Amino acid sequence: MAECRDDDAKFSADKKARSFMSGDTFMAAKVLKRHLPSRRKEVASYIYVKADDLYYTVYTLVNSACKADVIKRTKGKH
């Protein structure tokens, strides 16, 4: 099975993070790690939730089929 491309992984991660946090991205997602041999990628998405006036980093694992699953989130005030 082929590995999900970085651009597709970032798109999938951002989409999952926006639906998870109900906010908008304010910075481009980043691929942090590649897990071998499973070919999963850990991606950080940066979300701003206007209602809370908080910025979140949502970490997802993206599999080879470009399906993202949230593993954790962190928050910080801007």
Q: Is residue 12 part of a domain?
A: yes
List, for residues 25-72, the tens digit of each pLDDT value: 999 999 999 988 888 999 999 999 988 889 999 999 999 999 999 999
Q: Is residue 36 part of a domain?
A: yes
C-alpha to C-alpha distances, 18 to 1, 2, 36, 71, nearest whole angstrom: 28, 26, 27, 14
Q: Is residue 1 part of a domain?
A: no
- φ/ψ of 15, rounded to 5, equals -60, -45
Chain centroid to CA 47: how far? 9
What is the pTM (predicted TM-score) of this model? 0.89
Are the CB atoms for 60 and 43 separated by under 8 Å?
yes
How many domains would you assign to the chain? 1
**Where residue 14 sits, what CATH number does that domain have?**
3.10.450
Domain of residue 31 covers: 6-76
Q: Is residue 43 part of a domain?
A: yes
